[in-house]
Amino acid sequence: MGEKIIRINMTNLTTAIEAVPAEWAALGGRALTSTVVAKEVPPTCEPLGKYNKLVFSPGLLTATAAANSGRLSAGFKSPLTGGIKESNAGGTAAQKMERLGIKAVIIEGMPEKDTWYSIHIDKDGATIKEDVEYIGKGNYELYNIIGEKMGKVGVLSIGPAGEYKMAAANISVKDPDGNIRSHGRGGGGAVMGSKKIKYITVDDTGGPGITLADPEKFKTQARIFAKALLDHPVSGQGLPTYGTNVLINILNEAGGLPTKNFRFGTCDHAEKICGETMHDTIVARKGNPSHGCHAGCIIKCSQIYNDADGKYITSGFEYETVWGLGANSLIESLDDIAVCDRLMDDVGIDSIEGAVIMNVAMEAGILPWGDGKGTIKLIDEDIRKGTPLGRILGNGAGSVGRTYGLTRIPVVKNQGIPAYDPRSVKGIGITYATSTMGADHTSGYTIATNILKVGGYVDPLSKAGQVELSRNLQIATAAVDSTGLCIFVAFPALDIPECFTAIFEMINARYGCELDANGVVEFGKYVLKTEHEFNLAAGFSNKDDRLPEFFEEQIPPHNAVWDFSDAEIDEFWNF
């Protein structure tokens, strides 16, 4: 298929175009980044040292006409967790890479000289340029400058947080409107910063584009797939209308909305921060309540959130960010939270980790509970300038908690626990505990089945069935994360049989292969096991598959506790 690997060596400052090894031919997205990391990165290496690698890979369906297929995976050994990491995002880089015939970009080594570089990727390969002009700049300003100079290229970049090699630093990616999406979790921005790369541009002009083994079959399956996305109530109505923030009221209702650093399962001011309020605010201010993060997205859960004067503040304003700052840190002003979201994108901090950072900072007494303006200042001054306090914060919720001698630190494998209480939604607790990624809701989103009743129903308050539910979803997610499809296609895929079939049939039509439902499961298992083996070789054990001690406390309103035994959790890996 003429696909290639771009290998960029930052020690020698050389680049190479390599043929795709046969054993990687059937891989893409997370399956490929995790395979490359597992094969080429020594598991015990320093995450910010010369032996770590940063791997980008579009998914198997990226740049096709398949709806919602424009996600890019970034893989590396995480400076936050110490384990393997895959973090995927929309934006424009994935499709441009795929149209250039690039199966993966592998960045390795580390420069000896104390300077900065940028990388440009186009039809002729990759070039490295010493480039210190934009050091210190936030992502918004950087994207404006690059847009003016280079037009509609794809951009991957780090903000000041990545330059400081903060463990919560993300890798930003330009979206179709020139705004910011993020490979958020796990500190990929610090890895990119350690390799002294401020930004990467991707120009697909003159690229070979993609070819389909069976265009007719692809078209048919892509239609079935798109229809399912539009038909399903979650992907067709809830997410397009209210964005992911539709979940504030749903989780509040379920008693699973962690509030004041996981003390309560409901939040008194949910009405002020919920998706419905956000939607009405956006409409009143002439923003856009439904906006796609990449070309071909038909769910459009993103939005353009303006201030009271109708001026753009942020987009990709997600439930988890609103939860973490709104409920868990008790900030009542949605506008303050929106400014924080923008600033985290600009300085280049994962907005989930950033939200958990702030609730731990409030726990530590660094600022008062609910202090929106104080939170803005911490991001815009301390993290941006890399003050000592900013360094503590930028290194993640675990860093803040440990540095201040706390025990109420909501992290698993040192990654901040997101927006669903594991005591009152027990399936997600199994995902947090066992995921190879550290606490990560997206790696096995049991909220679908525990709360939204998608793919059946498993009582969130009972232990029964949660391990199996999380395992099945983690396996399926590992497969979906390899396709370039947005994880939200899982909602229709779980409920509409022909939607699930369409996914692997589109892959078959793209590559001329014969994947079936069983093959998808085996593929997902392969990805998880590859990642798990890397983590074990890096020094993890089953003792790392545990939630923090404080989850033994009851959480109202259900007075639920985390009551899985070690043996019950460890059952997860028996597959």
Interface pick for a second copy out of 233, 456, 539, 556 (rule CB under 8 A): 539
Is 190 one of the binding residues for a second copy (CB under 8 A)?
yes
User: Least Å distance between CB 435 and a second copy?
Assistant: 17
Cβ closer to a second copy: 364 or 521?
364
User: Nearer to a second copy by C-beta: 182 or 194?
Assistant: 194
CB 4 within 8 A of CB 101: yes
- Asked if 357 touches a second copy (CB under 8 A), the answer is no
What is d(CA 575, CA 565) in angstroms, rounded to the nearest whole number?
19
Our finding on whether 406 is near a second copy (CB under 8 A) is: yes
Specify the stretch interacting with a second copy by CB under 8 A; choose among 216-224, 282-290, 495-503, 542-550: 542-550
Residue 544 in the binding site for a second copy (CB under 8 A): yes
Number of chain positions touching a second copy (CB under 8 A): 38
- Strand intervals (E) in 354-478: 411-412, 415-416
User: Counting contacts by CB under 8 A, is residue 411 touching a second copy?
Assistant: no
Minimum distance, C-beta of residue 192 to a second copy, in the bound complex (Å): 12
Closer of 253 and 381 to a second copy (Cβ): 381
Q: Binding of a second copy at residue 165 (CB under 8 A)?
A: yes
Site string for a second copy, 518-537 (x = CB under 8 A): -------------------x
The kind and range of the H/E element at 108 are: strand 102-108
Under 8 Å between Cβ of 560 and 551: no
Strand boundaries in 283-384, DSSP class E:
288-291, 302-306, 312-315
Q: Does 194 bind a second copy (CB under 8 A)?
A: yes
Q: Which residues contact 265 (CB under 8 A, 6 or more apart)?
A: 254, 255, 256, 257, 258, 259, 421, 423, 424, 555, 556, 557, 558, 560
Say if strands 197-202 and 154-157 run parallel, antiparallel, or are unpaired: antiparallel
Which of 10, 38, 63, 166 binds a second copy (CB under 8 A)? It is: 166
What are the Cα distances from residue 356, in Å, to 74, 246, 328, 408, 483?
22, 20, 8, 12, 29
Binding mask 58-97 for a second copy (x = CB under 8 A): ---------------------x------------------
Binding letters toward a second copy, positions 418-447, x by CB under 8 A: ------------------------------
Of 403, 461, 522, 525, the residue at the interface with a second copy (CB under 8 A) is 403
**Nearest CA among 95, 150, 92 for reference residue 118:** 150
CA distance 249 to 337: 17
Question: What is the token pair recorded at 10?
Answer: 């930052």
Coil, strand or helix at 127:
strand
When asked if residue 167 is in the footprint of a second copy (CB under 8 A), the reply is yes
Q: For residues 338 and 352, is the Cβ–Cβ distance under 8 A?
A: no
Q: How far is the CB of 236 from a second copy (least distance, A)?
A: 44
Tell me how far apart the terminal alpha carbons of the chain are, to the nearest angstrom.
Answer: 34
Q: Which of 71, 391, 426, 441 binds a second copy (CB under 8 A)?
A: 391
Among positions 23-62, residues that touch a second copy (CB under 8 A) are 43-46, 48-49, 51
Distance CA 519, CA 321 (A): 35
Region binding a second copy by CB under 8 A among candidate stretches 21-29, 112-120, 299-307, 389-397? 389-397
The C-alpha atoms of residue 574 and residue 342 are separated, in whole angstroms, by 42
Which residue in 33, 87, 92, 395 binds a second copy (CB under 8 A)? 395
With contact defined as beta carbons under 8 Å apart, do 156 and 93 qualify? yes
Q: Which residues sit at the interface with a second copy, rule CB under 8 A?
A: 43-46, 48-49, 51, 79, 164-167, 190, 193-194, 387-389, 391-392, 395, 399, 402-407, 537-541, 543-544, 546, 548-549
